[in-house]
Amino acid sequence: MPPTYDVAVIGLGGMGSATAHHLAARGVRVLGLERFGPAHHRGSSHGGSRIIRQAYFEDPAYVPLLLRSFELYEQLRQDTGREVTTACGGVMVGRPDSRAVAGSLRSARQWDLPHEMLDAAEIRRRLPTMTPREDEVALFEPAAGLARPEQTVAAHLQLAARHGADLHFDEPMTRWEPCGEGVRVHTAEETYTAGHLVICPGAWAPRLLTDLGVPFTVERHVMYWFEPRGGTAPFHPDHHPVYIWEDAAGVQFYGFPAIDGPGLGAKVAFFRKGTPCTPDTIDRDVHDGEVQAMAAHLAPHLPSLPGTFRKAATCMYTNTPDEHFVIARHPAHPGATTVACGFSGHGFKFVPVVGEITADLALTGTTSHPIDLFDPSRLTAPAV
C-alpha cells in the first residue's frame, strides 16, 4: 500500500514548491506531484527574471502581502545560499494619471513606502537609457528589484526535500476524489491518500478546477532579450532599475537590467498583450513579426535597447476576470482541498507568502494574512 500523507500538493512550480516547503518545514508529511521536471520552462515560473515591487498599482490591499513576501525571499536566500532576488530599484513610468504611476503612488502613500517622484528631465538625467516624453513622470521605488523564478522554485524544492517532503516529478495527477476524512489522488503510476489536497495548477486550472466555477482564461506571452547598441554596460543592475512603462494608449511594457552578462542582452516584454491559448495549444515559437513589433515599441522609449535580438521565450498567464488571485479552501470541498491559482500575470513576487498562506489554509482552514480579495465566490456568486 502507498503511504498516507498529511497533505498532497499538486503542481510544483512557483506556488506549489513554496507550499511544499512551508508545509514540510512545519513537520507535515508532504507529497508533491509535478507533471514535468523541477523548475521547468513549460508553465509560468521561468524566464530568468520577474519584477518585484511594493508600491503596487494593482491595489493597495496587496502591500501587506508584499512586505511579508520580501521578508520570506530574504529568508530563502539565507537558508539556501541561492541568489533568488536582486535589489536594483524600480521605476513606474507614464503620464501622472496612468495606472502604473497613479496606482503606484496611491499604494506608496497609503503604506508609507519609500519613493520619489521624477519629472521627465530627472528621469533622463538619472537614467540616460530612457527618453520619456515631456508629459511623463516616474515613481522610483528603491526597494524594487527582480526575482529569479527558476532559482526560487529550486530553492523551495531544496528546502521541501530537506524537511522530508516526498517530491515526484514527471508524474501528473490524473484525477482525485474525497475519501473519508481526506482525499484520494490518482496518477498513471499510483494512487495516494492524504488528509488534505492543495492544488496549484497554473495554466492547467481550467482543466483541473472545472468545479470551482471561475472563468479562467489562459494567454500566451512572449519575453524578449535584446543586446543594446553600445553594449550592456549602461543596463548593469548596479545602476539600472527594473521598469514598467505605460504609454498614452494604456499599453504597458516592462523590462530588466542586463543580469546575465555581456552578449546575452536585457529582457523586455509587453504586459497583458497576449493571445489566448491552452497548455496543449500554445505556440512555443516566436515569430519575426513579434520581435519586430517589440523592437518598434521600444525604440522611442529606450532607443539603444532594440539593438540586436538575442532570444525569446514564451510563458502563460492564467487570468481571472478581475485580475485578482484565487486563494481559498475549495468551496465545494472545503474540508479536503485548498486552491491557489489565477495569478493573472502578476503573481510570482508573492510566491513565498502564498506558500505560507496555503500551508495555513491546508492545516487550519484560516490564515492571518489578508486574503479576502482572493475569495473565488466574488467570481461565481449569482448577480443580485
In angstroms, rounded to a whole number, what is the distance separating the alpha carbons of residues 302 and 374?
Answer: 36
The pTM score is 0.97
Beta strand ranges found along the chain (DSSP E): 4-10, 30-33, 50-52, 85-87, 90-94, 116-118, 137-141, 145-147, 166-168, 173-179, 182-187, 191-199, 217-227, 242-246, 252-255, 266-271, 275-276, 308-319, 326-329, 337-341
How confident is the model over 153-191, as pLDDT tens digits?
999 999 999 999 999 999 999 999 999 889 999 999 999
Residues 6+ apart with CB under 8 A from 133: 120
How confident is the model over 253-282, as pLDDT tens digits?
999 999 988 788 999 999 988 999 999 999
Question: Which pLDDT value is given to residue 41?
Answer: 96
CA–centroid distance for 94 within its chain = 23
Q: Exposed, middle or buried by CB within 10 Å (0-12, 13-18, 19+), for 281?
A: exposed
How far, in Å, are 39, 231, 350 from residue 154 at the CA level? 6, 31, 16
Is the model's pLDDT at 383 over the cut of 50?
A: no
How confident is the model over 118-128, as pLDDT tens digits?
999 999 999 99
Residues 6+ apart with CB under 8 A from 370: 61, 64, 65
**For all residues of the chain together, what is the average pLDDT?**
96
Q: Helix count (H) and strand count (E) of the chain?
A: 9, 20
